[in-house]
Amino acid sequence: MDVILFLVFAVVAVVCAINVVVQTHPISSAVSLIGVMGSLAVLYLLLGAEFIAAAQVIVYAGAIMVLFVFVIMLLNAGAEAKEGRSLMVRFLGLPALVMLLGLLAYFVQRLFPRGDSVHFGGFTGGSPRDIGMALFTTYLLPFEATSILILIAIVGAIVLARKEMD
């Protein structure tokens, strides 16, 4: 049952991720991104990382996506205009993509030997205590750097919004 659920939600995540890139309307892309985030949360649940799954839904599928939709509506972004594709892209695009994916699969299998298989529900590092210890010991510097970058982005958004109002 776990394998079937994994395959279903992995396919949903991949299809939604492709849909994020293919969609021409920004709101449709944002909704597809919510589908990716929800599918990832279910995959985390299958691995036994309940806290990470809850954080995925609350933080990313909730707060971050609301922020994305707010910015899209604030910018009043419409659908992209479709342009004609060149003849070379039409005929060489798909074969080149297949070759690239084949080369990537070959190198991944050669460079990274097969390790232990994943045991569903066997992940033990997803408790709030484990995440807190890792976040505030090992990853303290990247965590603080990220918070400073987010603060700079917020100040930049405020400055840009003020210039447009004037």
Residue 106 CA: distances (Å) to CA of 6, 98, 109: 24, 12, 5
Residue 44 CA: distances (Å) to CA of 5, 36, 98, 126, 130: 12, 12, 29, 9, 15
Looking at the fold, whether 11 and 74 belong to one and the same domain comes out as yes
Of 29-33, 39-43, 70-74, 108-112, give the range with the top mean pLDDT: 39-43
In a domain, 56, yes or no: yes
Report if pTM > 0.85: no
Q: Domain holding 30: CATH number? A: 1.20.120.1200
Mean pLDDT computed over 74-88: 70
Which pLDDT score is estimated for 132?
A: 86
**Model confidence over 106-155: pLDDT tens digits?**
998 888 877 777 677 677 777 788 888 888 899 999 989 999 998 998 88
In a domain, 88, yes or no: no
In a domain, 117, yes or no: no
**Which of the two residues, 75 and 10, has the higher pLDDT score?**
10
Q: How many CB atoms lie within 10 A of CB 19?
A: 16
Domain span holding position 31: 1-78
Domain count, the chain: 2
